[in-house]
Amino acid sequence: MQQVAYCLALGLFVLIMGIHSHPERPNIPVDPVAQAIFQTAEANRTPDGFLTQEEMTEIFQRFDMNADGNIDETEFIAHWTLLKLGDLEHAVTLFHRADTDRNGEISKNPDFARLFYYFDRDGDHKIAESEFLAVWYSLST
């Protein structure tokens, strides 16, 4: 259960894999936490190598600890800390980047919809590990 929550939680931000870069450019570093989150979240439902909107919704629901349809900073940090996903500064940075409308919480609409669209770099309605890792890296730096 904690693995599922761990995957789902970071899948929202999650965000961040071993990206394939242009041969003349250096690779973006692989974040092992992000990679583990993606793999755990993805294997939870359909081990096809992609995160679907349904799988991302499960991640959102794990962070939405009071089930009100929004994730405030306290919920986000509490769940982040519970799952030992990284340091507090990283959590705060990711939270504020995911709060796309800057209202102090990550909501299903518009934040969640924007995040899914942002992670789905190629627009195929699913998130590949490479997409997840690249976006996670960009959100966390």
With a threshold of 0.75, does the pTM exceed it?
no
For residue 72, the cross-strand partners are: 105
Our measurement of the distance from residue 139's CA atom to the centroid of its chain's CA atoms, rounded to an integer in Å, reads 9
Give the Cα separation of 89 and 106 in Å (integer).
Answer: 17
The CA angle 79-84-90, to the nearest 5 degrees, is: 80
Give the Cα separation of 1 and 127 in Å (integer).
Answer: 22
pLDDT per residue as tens digits for the range 80-139: 898 888 788 888 988 998 899 999 999 988 998 888 898 899 999 999 999 988 888 887
For residue 71, the cross-strand partners are: 106
Q: Which domains does the chain have, with CATH numbers?
A: 2-19+27-140 (1.10.238)
Q: How many residues does the chain have?
A: 141
pLDDT per residue as tens digits for the range 14-73: 433 333 434 454 555 677 878 877 877 776 667 788 998 888 888 889 899 999 999 999
